[in-house]
Amino acid sequence: MFSLALVIIVVLLALCFDYVNGFHDTANAIATSVSTKALSPRAAIIVAASLNFGGALSGTAVAATIGKSIVAPQQVTAEVLIAALIGAIFWNVFTWYFGIPSSSSHALIGGLTGAVIAGFGFSAVQWHGFLKIFTGLVTSPVVGLVAGSLVMTLLFWLFRGLSPAKTNNRFRKLQILSACMAAFAHGSNDAQKSMGIVTMALVSGGIIGSFSVPLWVKIACALAMAAGTAAGGWKIIKTMGGKIFRIEPINGFAADFTSSLVIYMASHIGVPVSTTHVVSSSIMGVGAAKRLKGVRWNIARQIVMAWFITIPSSALVSILVYKLVTMLV
């Protein structure tokens, strides 16, 4: 149990993480629609921010997984949560600055795991819960890749009789719908991660008796993510929207439609996934179905490398922050 002041610090850091997550992952929902000019940048930001907010209020299953699977909420300390959040925020800002579409989810999981290890040792980590989360993070991009390729192949077959110009004109309008779906799905998964951290702090601080996400936590996290989304993430939009392969409206619709279904299904069953990973792998799958050589695999390799280094990197930062915090407190 820790003081009210420390609970407030954790809450503020969690909301800061949500805000950074919002502008870091804005590209997930709107990159393809902006790159094909289905939506103007301003309209895309409004769509993403509003539907991120709506998605964030749609459930708490992911929050429960984050809040209870890596470490028991009753055993966590303020120093652990502060170090975890600072480590995740640092890695998000670092990768955003260089335009690398890394995973906010991986950063948070790595940060929380590293901080727990620094505070209580390896035995304090609930490794079965960690493996469950890690399995979801690893398998969801594979699902996105395969599903994106299948959806794109199906669309090619269904619309094979139409001219490319007519097909893309139709799908440019449908991209507005798929962008809305992607934004809602993103909010339904990513905002809940901070809800889980805040609720852990409330339980550990003795403010609430059991792990149940209060309404004000849902609204605060949803608002923080929506505000971050409104700030935009144009460096990552450039990578997601055009550097992987040349996206046309039918490709953008297929990628957004696929990724939104994968992410929302994961949210429904309480599995935290990386929206960045799912979207980028869906784009790769769609590109491979269109033309295997058309995918710029060197960019894809850079993205995959970022996937694998995020958890250990954010964990290391959190360990260092934990040592510093415990020296100061």
- Condensed to tens digits (0 to 9), the pLDDT of residues 111-143 reads 999 999 999 999 899 999 999 898 888 889 889
Is-contact 148 283, C-beta < 8 A?
Answer: yes
Residue 239 in tokens: 């990578």
Amino acid making up residue 159: F
How far from the centroid of its chain's Cα atoms is residue 17's Cα? 11
Q: What is the DSSP letter of 206?
A: T
The pTM of the full predicted model, rounded to 2 decimals, is 0.86
Q: Number of folded domains in the chain? A: 1
Contacts of 123 (CB under 8 A, 6+ apart): none
How far from the centroid of its chain's Cα atoms is residue 184's Cα? 12
3-state secondary structure of 247: coil
Alpha carbon distances (Å) from 223 to 56, 216, 230? 9, 10, 10
Q: Which domain holds residue 122?
A: 4-328
Contacts of 292 (CB under 8 A, 6+ apart): none
Pick from 226, 210, 209: which is nearest to 218 by CA?
Answer: 226
Is-contact 24 108, C-beta < 8 A?
Answer: no
Q: What percent of the chain has pLDDT over 70?
A: 88
- Condensed to tens digits (0 to 9), the pLDDT of residues 179-212 reads 899 889 988 998 899 999 999 999 888 899 888 9
